[in-house]
Amino acid sequence: MSEVTASEIAQNLDVADEKAKYDASARKLVAQKSILAYILKSALDEFADIPVNRFVG
């Protein structure tokens, strides 16, 4: 069994912190109705014909 060094632990914590920051930023973006409307319209056929202002208004 290999021993984990302090620098490896620190590096793993840094990566986890960066992922958490990325996740928080992505959640803030998707929470905005105007951005979510474009994502839904682009990604789902059910929303393709609905004007974006119907989502936001």
Q: Report pLDDT for 2.
A: 64
Token duo for residue 10: 């620190």
Q: In which band, very low, low, confident or very high, does the pLDDT at 57 lie, cut at 50, 70 and 90?
A: low
Helix axes 6-31 and 33-43, enclosed angle (nearest 10): 90
Scanning 1-57, the segments in alpha helix (DSSP H) are 6-31, 33-43, 52-56
* Domain layout of the chain by residue ranges: 6-56
Average pLDDT over residues 11-40: 92
